[in-house]
Amino acid sequence: MSQLSTVCQAMSVAAGLALTGAVSAQNAPDGDPYAWLEDVQGDKALDWVKARNAKAEAEIAGTPAFKTLEAQIRAVLDSDAKIPSVEKIGEYYYNFWKDKQHERGLWRRTTLAEYRKPEPRWETALDLDALNKAEGAKWVWHGADCLRPKYQRCLIALSPGGSDADVTREFDLATKQFVQDGFFRPEAKGGLSWIDEDTVYVFTDFGPGTLTSSGYPNIVKEWKRGTPLASAKTVYEGKPGDMYIAAGRDHTPGYQRDFVNRTIAFYNDELYLRNADGSLTKVDAPNSAQKGVHKDWLVLELREPYEAGGKTWKPGSLIATDFNDFMAGKRDFTALFEPTDNAALAGSTWTKDHLVLNVMEDVKNRLIVLTPGKDGWAKSAFVGASTIGTIGVGAVDADDSNAVWLTATDFLSPTTLSIAEIGQKPEVLKSNPVFFDGSKDVIEQHFAASKDGTKVPYFLVRPKDLAFDGKAPTLLYGYGGFEVSMTPAYSGSIGKAWLEKGGVYALANIRGGGEYGPRWHQAALKANRHKAYEDFAAIADDLVARKITSPQHLGTMGGSNGGLLMGNMLTQYPEKFGAIVVQVPLLDMKRYSHLLAGASWMAEYGDPDTSDWSFIQTFSPYHLFDANKTYPATLFTTSTKDDRVHPGHARKMMAKMEAADKDVRYYENIEGGHGGAANNAQAAHMNALAYTFLWNQLTK
């Protein structure tokens, strides 16, 4: 599909505003005594952070048990036996690898013949640790875009410390060196994408007025090699209120096309075909649809009803038509997938001759193969796919091959990676090591009845000999937003930190996620946000009703939008939990749209500067906090370098709870971006803090 086929693809090219975050006189909140903590890099704010970090470290990290767990998690993350996932670039298979010796990572390559071996020989293309040492930097890898068909020149994105804002530098795979006087984009949210060897699209911060209110690029230009960035020619400029503007070329041989993507908001974007004369023609499909162009085909994944060709297509459907016919005005679509009450499309991937659909039925995957031909689309089963756990599928080389990568995993089964030619039995190539003893556990799926009667699924991993006496330390994890599905996966960290100790782990599939397609997500948008929180609370109640645990032994954890979920569990359902970990969260929902990338999420939560505040305030933890209430033990974690969700959310909530003398602690990593950690050592430390805190609280 086109590199601009989805909002997420357009945004994943890069993301974000330069990290200042200081409160200005124009937008400082009235009457907020903790507004000064929004000054991300301010000396006063950082002194406050360091003092609380030290206190949290002293409480949680000072024991031998903590040091042991941290070392165990670090060993999992650094393991040389992990599957090195690869991407085919030209004749080589590339992998980005981090371990104890390579803290920031190696970009390396091998051949398929070597990759099949237990111990492949790797050739280093770029050593990020060596680069950092040479440049006195702290670069974090953000990916590479290599130009077809030669695959010699690449555009490499590097982030200083892990923030979304990054730089783009041109790299030569033949010499394994950055190109002197090559393409270079200064630090900002945005990116470069190849047009040809001497031309790129650039979408970035061009100066005042060129960023959206979310801090993303609002203008895309065409930039010629050897000319200053300032002379780049404007291709498209967004309108006030837009979210993200980007462009790219589809380099599929014989089908080269250029597209401009105007993202107005999440689930609301326009796709334009750029013609040879530079003019733009809109691909007149619904703004809410996910639009993909691949060879002859336009494929639409619908989020709302769509009337076309004399038929109304249901939300959640995947429909296809000839792209050129569509651009000429025809609307003759074929249904490739239609949702049911328990089935939704989880994803799709093109190979040379086929389209493979990944369908979820009650949060369990199955694969379907579709093959376009003169007589329409033929449908067949995928040969040899796993029937248990979570299945992932991706093309090896959509231009030249019908092979796909297959991953299979569940909570107790280490991930396996296979390669499969469509129609043939998959060949298992790699398997992750067993990081913990899961032989004493069992996986179950249950359904809890939410407040409005909706049946909400969740997964449970528990000891086979569980006593069902309500005393098991239980960790409930959730997210519930942006149509993101929570599916079973093997985690050595959770295994060592929780399951191996006899703990119970539960994963919630609440509304707001994508487990049942667009309808499941849309059921908890804006004024209906409370349904996601009611779903999560219902699962907590179900765990107690089944005598698996009890409130004093039930903990919960979530990050980002899941951090907002945790904030609402804390403030609306404090009696249901014994401990809560709130990671990189949104919490001040009156301010969120004014902080960093916050304005880009108004399609999810609403606009607090309008009448929407009437419902937003009902799920704004910063405003729901009541100093007179009793709250469970709480740990906030975030990152100074998070330029997506402002660390001020966690800082201010911590300060408010601390002032009311609540049982609360705080840890802020100085690096790490929205992921929280910039390397395995930091990730191990932060994970160990969270799990140690929860275990200590829930086993009292």
SS (H, E, C) 386-449: CCCCEEEEEECCCCCCCEEEEEEECCCCCCEEEEEECCCCCEEEEECCCCCCCCCEEEEEEEEE
Sheet holding 280-282, edge to edge: 244-250, 257-265, 268-274, 280-282
Q: Are 530 and 523 in contact (CB under 8 A)?
A: no
Helix (H, G, I), strand (E, B) or coil at 533: helix
Amino acid identity for residue 66 in this structure: F
Angle between helix 64-78 and 680-698 (nearest 10): 140
Of the candidates 193, 217, 221, 199, which has an alpha carbon nearest to the alpha carbon of residue 207?
Answer: 217
Contact yes or no for 538/451 (Cβ under 8 A): yes
Q: How many CB atoms lie within 10 A of CB 497?
A: 26
| Ramachandran class of 31: left when φ > 0, alpha when ψ lies in -120 to 50, beta otherwise | left
Helix axes 680-698, 43-60, angle to 10 degrees: 60
Query: What is the full DSSP assignment across 153-221?
Result: EEEEEEEETT-S-EEEEEEETTTTEEPTT--EEEEES-EEEEEETTEEEEES--STT-B-TTSSB-EEE
**Number of residues in the chain:** 700
> Cis omega (within 30 of 0) on the bond before 372?
no
CB contact at 8 A, 402 and 394 = no
Residue with tokens 């982030």: 159
Q: Strands, E, within 16-105: which ranges?
A: 87-89, 92-97
The residues near 604 (Cβ < 8 Å, ≥ 6 apart) are 266, 481, 482, 525, 526, 561
Q: Are 602 and 577 in contact (CB under 8 A)?
A: no
DSSP state of 538: H
Partners of residue 448 on adjacent β-strands: 456
* DSSP annotation string for 688-699: HHHHHHHHHHHT
Cα angle: 644, vertex 215, 639; to 5 degrees: 20
3-class DSSP assignment, residue 372: strand
φ/ψ of 339, rounded to 5, equals -70, 160
Mind telling me the catalytic residues?
560, 674
Spatial CA neighbour of 503 closest among 694, 348, 358, 351: 694
Closest CA to 470 of 573, 525, 548, 353: 548
Yes or no: say if 346 and 316 are a contact pair by the CB < 8 Å rule. no
